[in-house]
Amino acid sequence: MNSHQLLTVAFCTVVVVVDCLYFPAGFFFGSRLLDIICLVVTLTFCAFLYRAYLYPKFFTPFKQLNTPQDRSIWIGNLRDVHQNYNEIVTSWAHAFPKQELIRVYLLLNQEVLLAFGPNAVHDVLVEKPYEFTPGPVLKLIFKYAGIGGLFTADNQKHKIHRRKLARAFSPSNIERFQHVFWKIAAEMVTTIEKETSHSSSNGAGVIATEELVSRAIIDAFASTQMDEDLKCLQAKSPITDAYRDVWAQNKACKILIACLINSPSTPVPPNNEVRKAAKARKRIYDLVQQSLEKKKLKIHEGWHAEYENITSIMLGNDQFTEQETISHTLTYAAASYETTTLAIQWAIVALSKFPSVQGRLHQEIRAHLPPLDAVDDFSPHIEAVKRMPYLNAFCNEVLRYYTPISMTIREASQDTSILGTPVPRGTLVLVSHDTTNHDLGAWGPDANEFNPDRWIDSKSGFDQHKSRGGVHKNGRTLASFSFGARRCPGQEYAMSEFRCFMASLVGRFAIELEDPSAEVRVTGTFNLTPADGVRARFKKLGDW
């Protein structure tokens, strides 16, 4: 409950107590009940007037910060309650090109700070990661999506668990995972060929990319991190449908965020979409719990995993409770599912929009890698995937230009500051990764253009240093995996998976959208989600 709501409740409580103790029944309106109702309504109206008009204009501690002028008493600076948040945040950033921190008002005039410049984002996420924490709002939003674990862990627990789980994403483990990624990528390519073989006379068929890729991503995570072979690619799986039900509830997510940003204690309306998502979360939870129980029994019987992963680390460590083990597994699974699935969808969009880019990728992949069907042991080719300059540059540029997870929320856990501006405890801060990824000062005048060559150094080839988290001397920041102590710990895992999947797809097929001339409609709240799941045409090119 925020300060405005606490003030309203306190005033109403005082009114009831004073009316009962010091005034005879019906003193004002002939009935004590009517007296109380009328006074409470009057005070509630006064509190609303204070929140909607007086506070933003006269009493906010952020009067020195710029704010958009078009503010409604009901929806704040939003133009439409159904509008994609990233779209409106981008318009706010463009309205204040010389600012990095502004104040904005959301539904019911909830005040939040918007950090969108590289320096402001760096201050919040890198310099003060434990002063700006997920807070109760983000924790409940993540809980809705079946996420907890490291994303919402308190400061000390976050440090301990992150350090222990980092072993699962060590360079040696990432190399081992690539065998699995390549095997599943080959299965995905075979599935596409089967599903498109009878669809047209020219060998090209249309596939709903999101549906297919999500199955492959879940297979990859289950195999590498849970030692499970779910075979989602071979047949539709209940867990795939469950994840889609959770992440597809865009309207439900907006309802939830609208309620929680105003107060984490506000009850969420139990509409059909919220109920559907809740049932889906329960299905995912039960499946993960059953899988971990089976693995725990195997370990007790003397079984040893081929390599360390997050579940083997947690099951072999007494510091993780059963609930924490399930929570971390669900969190990593959800992060892997959402981020990589979106990245591949946007990569398909980019390949269709920029045929010359697709042509260069096709040549590079076929020049450095053997045909998919000719490789039983992928070990000799792991380094080749990592060292292909244009493939790496393309993957990074997709993540920069489209920024799948475009925003996050932080809350000041103590009195602190951003770029010298005092920030009281409890202040909500929206951090925009997308505007950071398109900042003209950081990326140059072509920041709003898709250009993989920006990642390639003329002398040394692909410049990996430009893709790491933080602010570098050249001012460039790839914000897609966040920054600082709370940045995505699975970044290298995701990038390795992304590269393998794209190499297999572009090496085998010519790819274009079902309707190349149509604009891709975007949905999502804090992520950029193609509305149609990216329906694309895949045409096999020769033998590879």
456 burial (CB, 10 Å; 0-12 / 13-18 / 19+) is: middle
- Could you tell me which residues come within 8 angstroms of residue 130 by beta carbon, excluding any fewer than 6 positions away? 155, 413, 485
* Stretch (H or E) spanning 429: strand 428-432
* Cα dihedral value 369, 374, 380, 381, nearest 10: 30
Is 488 marked within a binding site?
yes
Residue 263 burial (CB count, 10 A): 17
- Could you tell me which residues come within 8 angstroms of residue 304 by beta carbon, excluding any fewer than 6 positions away? none
* DSSP code, position 452: G
d(CA 94, CA 381): 44
* Cα dihedral value 454, 456, 462, 465, nearest 10: -50
* Stretch (H or E) spanning 243: helix 238-247
Tell me if 119 sits within 8 A of 100, measured CB to CB.
yes
Q: Specify the 3-state DSSP secondary structure of 501.
A: helix
Q: Give the side-chain half-sphere CA count within 13 A for 24.
A: 2
d(CA 55, CA 544): 65
The gap from C-alpha 271 to its chain's centroid, in whole angstroms, comes to: 24
The CA-based angle 56-62-63, given to 5 degrees, is 65
d(CA 363, CA 47): 65
Q: Specify the 3-state DSSP secondary structure of 439.
A: coil
d(CA 301, CA 315): 13
Beta strands in 119-250 (DSSP E): 132-133, 204-208
What is the DSSP annotation of 96-133?
A: STT-SEEEEE-GGG-EEEEE-SHHHHHIIIII-TTTEE
d(CA 220, CA 183): 9
Binding site feature residues: 488
Binding site feature residues for heme: 488
